[in-house]
A and B are shown apart, each in its own frame.
Chain A
Amino acid sequence: MFVIKCPYCGERDQTEFSCHGESHIARPENPNEVNDKEWGEYLFFRSNPKGMHYERWTHDHGCRQWFNVKRHTVTDKIIQTYTMGEEKPEDNNV
């Protein structure tokens, strides 16, 4: 069983969760002032790293809250889960 720790409910099976892509992507403050290239990068380009990845997840079959997950894309190990609005943890554990 692959267990994920929801910051609100505690440890639950992965089948209760779903992943919604990379987190910590800030929308440009003034969309009218950015050029097409910058807007395209905001919309479509993602880091896709081999290593530490920061993702947004939801606890669909539980509290239905969004939260962040720090996960290693090679080992699939989840290093940390933290709530929305918390600061992005440093990329030190590999």
Chain B
Amino acid sequence: MTDKIISSPLIAKEDFHANGVNMSSTEFVGKLNFRCNPDNTTILNKVKDITGINLPLKAGEVFGNNEYRIQWLGPNEWIIQCADDEKDGLIDNIKSQLSDEHYSITDISDYYLTIRLSGKNSNEILSKGTSLDLKTYICNKDMCAQTYIAKATVLIDRLSNEPMYDISVRWSYAEYLWEWLVDASYEFIE
């Protein structure tokens, strides 16, 4: 096997700490798209056995433990996050345990980059670019929503009750969104 080339559009960006926000990029996280019929309890139980977490069945729910974090994308679609070097093992494990079931698992780790946004002005800055009602859909930790920020489709995952978000964005939009967020923060220059 050839060596992996590790790069990202955000790798040269220095963490941004100003104007009441902190931004950093957390790339190289394993992300697996998992789809199945949510009424199939056999699959739900097996996934729970493998990861230790239930698949969230309510809109915008996120369940996590030390190893995994599962985000709700739709009524039959989830993202399972894990460490980058564990994803191949997890895929093999799921494939071997669910061999008789109807489901799909896809490695999408390289589709998305994640920008971590925190700080007291993060909500104001997000509101400038998205029509999502932040106070309803991502008001507390472990809530996520797919929407768009400044025309870039994103998945926003709230990590704590203080404003702290992981914004997953398409690789090709990542630099644009990063610059947009930095630019948006200058309204709150201190």
Contact = CB atoms under 8 A, between A and B. Distances in A.
Contacts of B73: 63-64
Nearest to B59: A9
B146 A62 contact: yes
Interface in B99-139: 131-133, 136-137
A10 interface: yes
A16 B59 contact: no
Contact of B147 (A8, A12, A65): A12
Contacts, number: 43
A26 interface: no
Contacts of A12: 131-132, 147
Nearest to B148: A61
A16 B130 CA distance: 10
Nearest to B76: A65
Kindly state the interface size class of chain A when it binds its partner.
10 to 19
Given A8-B59, A11-B133, A65 B148 contact: no
Interface in A52-80: 61-65
Contacts of B153: 61
B135 to A, nearest CB: 12
A88 B18 CA distance: 53
Interface of B: 59-60, 73-75, 77, 131-133, 136-137, 145-148, 153
Interface of A: 1, 8-13, 15-16, 61-65
